[in-house]
């Protein structure tokens, strides 16, 4: 009896993990210019902010970013910044792997043949997701030194009522900056 329950539990766990692995999650990535010394760069200012998702509050996004950068030791300096930040927020059609549901019916014909009929329905087709890009440029020579991205953000997170979730996304994104560069 115990062994049968264990097998049922294992099967349930496997099925649940397969179902939930298809759920959308935010994907974070970053890239940086090799050879850049990040440890002496501490002041920044915003250069350009482009928001292409209707209803997105620019003041909220910059406040969330400023709060996260302050916790990381960066200082907003509008006069002599060492870094210039550009923020882009836009939506696009989901780039995640597609899932589908299929059904098939087969009928035996004669001794060795069969006739089959099949169909499938693609899930998540046309689903929109939010993307957030932050470029960090060294002000002294206008060189892009870091780019971070968050992709797959549910569009509902850009509403005013989802400030906490958007703050978490911003914290995860900016938490990658500066990159952990091996000596």
131 vs 183, more confident? 131
pLDDT digits (tens, 9 = 90+) for 109-138: 666 666 666 666 555 556 899 999 999 999
Residue 16 has pLDDT above 90, yes or no: no
Q: What crossing angle do the helices spanning 58-71 and 163-174 adopt, rounded to 10°?
A: 50
pLDDT digits (tens, 9 = 90+) for 38-89: 999 999 999 999 999 998 999 999 999 999 999 999 999 999 999 999 999 9
Query: What is the reported pLDDT for 127?
Result: 85
102 vs 14, more confident? 102
pTM for the full model?
Answer: 0.71
**Domain boundaries, given as residue ranges, for the chain:** 25-95+102-174
Q: Report the chain's mean pLDDT, rounded to a whole number.
A: 83
Give the fold, CATH level 3, of 25-95+102-174.
Double Stranded RNA Binding Domain (3.30.160)
Catalogue the E-assigned strands of the chain. Answer: 27-32, 43-51, 75-76, 83-93, 99-109, 113-123, 128-138, 143-153
41 vs 4, more confident? 41
């Amino acid at each position: 009896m115990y062994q049968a329950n264990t097998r049922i539990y294992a099967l349930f766990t496997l099925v649940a993990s397969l179902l939930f692995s298809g759920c959308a999650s935010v994907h974070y990535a970053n890239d940086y210019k090799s050879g850049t010394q990040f440890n002496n760069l501490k002041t920044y200012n915003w250069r350009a902010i482009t928001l292409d998702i209707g209803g997105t509050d620019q003041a909220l996004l910059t406040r969330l970013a400023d709060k996260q950068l302050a916790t990381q030791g960066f200082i907003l300096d509008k006069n002599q910044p060492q870094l210039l930040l550009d923020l882009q927020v836009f939506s696009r059609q989901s780039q995640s792997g597609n899932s589908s549901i299929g059904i098939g019916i087969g009928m035996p014909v004669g001794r060795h043949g069969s006739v089959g009929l099949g169909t499938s329905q693609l899930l998540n087709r046309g689903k929109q997701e939010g993307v957030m890009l932050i470029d960090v440029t060294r002000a002294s020579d206008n060189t892009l030194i870091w780019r971070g991205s968050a992709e797959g953000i549910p569009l509902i997170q850009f509403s005013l009522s989802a400030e906490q979730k958007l703050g978490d996304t911003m914290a995860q994104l900016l938490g990658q900056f500066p990159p952990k560069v091996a000596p």
